[in-house]
Amino acid sequence: MPTVSDMPTAVHAPVGIFDSGLGGLSVLRHVRRLLPHEALIYAADSAFAPYGGKDEAAVLARTVAMADFLVAQGVKALVIACNTATAGAIVEIRRRYPTLPVVGVEPGLKPAALQTRTGMVGVLATERTLASRRFLALEAQIAESSGVRFIGQPCPGLADQVEKGELRSPATMELVRRFVGPLIAAGADALVLGCTHYPFLVAQIESAAREAGAASLAIIDTGDAVARQLGKVLAEQGLLSPPLPTPASIAAWTTGSASSLSTAMRKLLHLTIAAKRIAERPD
Ligand code: DGL
């Protein structure tokens, strides 16, 4: 395991962004927009995705392995761009790397509570996130302070559809309808995207909500808030990269297929990047 003293603190060092697979790209796009001078290394654990149906110990082990990989690449900060990994492992990652700034992703219950008019909010997330102590504590706290009711909707199979590049297939649409319909029927007028894969399905979610009779709908994605939090943490620690004449580099690594990650980055973000395979699976 790389030690903290090996970690460069240079402002030019890259920021590591990690997800179980492609979902973290929905966070990367916000980071790129807000902090274009930051060099980025994206790491997808696609060989082990999805995390959502795995047990706590497995998610923890995989998150540690991926964080170790990124630290070994010399990152100056780490974004855990995965709700499931944040819920299950951010405490351990911060313990393991006490001087490394670590930013996680959590379902946006607070902004949703501010936006709902019906007082009913649907939370689309993985089974693991919804069952986590971290999520349950957040839910209890925001429900009590706001009086809003949160309805958790596990979405098994949905992140997989994004992994397969099937954003608009009938099977994907069918799953989206199955998950969104009951939330709208229960009176939800705000839906929290509690998994970083789901922002790539916003149009499909909106359309399923309309079909289910939603008159107005707020969709809450925390990608922008995560990018802002990263900028704040980097600024506080004197780690912000100075402006560069050209956009900073983006590298991409995966435990799965490198060509699939390159294709996904081109299709989802219009970025042309030759992704590389993490040669030895980090566990
Ligand atoms: N993108 C991940 C999240 O935000 C989960 C997807 C998966 O199940 O691996 O929770």
Query: Could you report how far apart the first and last alpha carbons of the chain are, in Å?
Result: 11
Q: What per-residue confidence (pLDDT) applies to 7?
A: 46
Q: Residues with Cβ < 8 Å from 77, sequence gap 6 or more?
A: 15, 16, 100, 101, 102, 103, 230, 233, 234, 239
Question: Which pair of tokens denotes residue 281?
Answer: 């699976």
* Nearest of 138, 140, 7, 20 to residue 75 by alpha carbon: 7
- Dihedral over alpha carbons 238, 32, 135, 155 (to 10 degrees): -170
Ligand 1 neighbourhood includes 86 CB (under 6 angstroms): no
Rounded average pLDDT over 177-191: 98
Phi, psi dihedrals of residue 257, rounded to the nearest 5°: -90, 125
Q: Are strands 77-80 and 15-19 parallel, antiparallel or unpaired?
A: parallel
Q: What per-residue confidence (pLDDT) applies to 280?
A: 59
Phi, psi dihedrals of residue 121, rounded to the nearest 5°: -125, 130
Rounded average pLDDT over 29-45: 97
Is the per-residue pLDDT at 2 higher than 70? no
Is the per-residue pLDDT at 58 higher than 70? yes
Q: What per-residue confidence (pLDDT) applies to 282?
A: 45
Which atom of ligand 1 is nearest the CA belonging to 51?
9
Q: What per-residue confidence (pLDDT) applies to 270?
A: 96
Band of residue 265 on the pLDDT scale cut at 50, 70, 90: very high
Is the per-residue pLDDT at 200 higher than 80? yes
* Nearest of 44, 7, 26, 13 to residue 201 by alpha carbon: 26
- Average pLDDT of the residues of the chain: 95
Taking only the tens place, the pLDDT of each residue in 223-240 is: 999 999 999 999 999 999
Question: What is the CA(30)–ligand 1 centre distance, in A?
Answer: 17
Question: Which pair of tokens denotes residue 56?
Answer: 């706590």
Domain ranges, ordered by start, for the chain? 4-105+223-277, 109-220
Q: What per-residue confidence (pLDDT) applies to 1?
A: 54
Task: Judge if 4-105+223-277 and 109-220 fold alike in CATH terms.
Answer: yes
Q: What per-residue confidence (pLDDT) applies to 247?
A: 82
Whether 82 is catalytic: yes
Q: What per-residue confidence (pLDDT) applies to 4?
A: 45
Find out whether 52 and 84 touch, Cβ atoms under 8 Å. Answer: yes
Rounded average pLDDT over 217-222: 98
Find out whether 193 and 165 touch, Cβ atoms under 8 Å. Answer: no
> d(Cα 212, Cα 182) in Å, to the nearest integer?
8
Task: Give SS3 for 149.
Answer: strand
Rounded average pLDDT over 38-57: 96
Q: What per-residue confidence (pLDDT) applies to 10?
A: 83
Whether 195 is catalytic: yes
> d(Cα 16, Cα 125) in Å, to the nearest integer?
23
Rounded average pLDDT over 124-136: 98
Which atom of ligand 1 is nearest the CA belonging to 125?
10
Angle at alpha carbon of residue 145, lines to 143 and 148, rounded to 5°? 40
Q: What per-residue confidence (pLDDT) applies to 46?
A: 95
Options 82, 208, 217, 261, the catalytic residue: 82
Higher pLDDT, 245 or 36: 36
> d(Cα 125, Cα 13) in Å, to the nearest integer?
32
User: Any idea which residue has 């290394």 for tokens?
Assistant: 41
Question: What is the CA(90)–ligand 1 centre distance, in A?
Answer: 14
Find out whether 127 and 154 touch, Cβ atoms under 8 Å. Answer: yes
Is the per-residue pLDDT at 56 higher than 60? yes
CA distances from 26 to 117, 120, 134, 195, 274 (A): 27, 26, 22, 10, 18
Band of residue 14 on the pLDDT scale cut at 50, 70, 90: very high
Q: What per-residue confidence (pLDDT) applies to 238?
A: 96
Which numeric CATH code is attached to 109-220?
A: 3.40.50.1860
User: Considering the chain, what percentage of its residues have pLDDT values greater than 70?
Assistant: 95
Taking only the tens place, the pLDDT of each residue in 134-180 is: 999 999 999 999 999 999 999 999 999 999 999 999 999 999 999 99
Q: What per-residue confidence (pLDDT) applies to 9?
A: 55
Question: What is the CA(23)–ligand 1 centre distance, in A?
Answer: 7
Is the per-residue pLDDT at 5 higher than 50? no
Task: Give SS3 for 97.
Answer: coil
Rounded average pLDDT over 47-54: 95
Question: Which pair of tokens denotes residue 134?
Answer: 């971290």
Options 43, 112, 195, 225, the catalytic residue: 195
Which numeric CATH code is attached to 4-105+223-277?
A: 3.40.50.1860
Q: What per-residue confidence (pLDDT) applies to 273?
A: 97
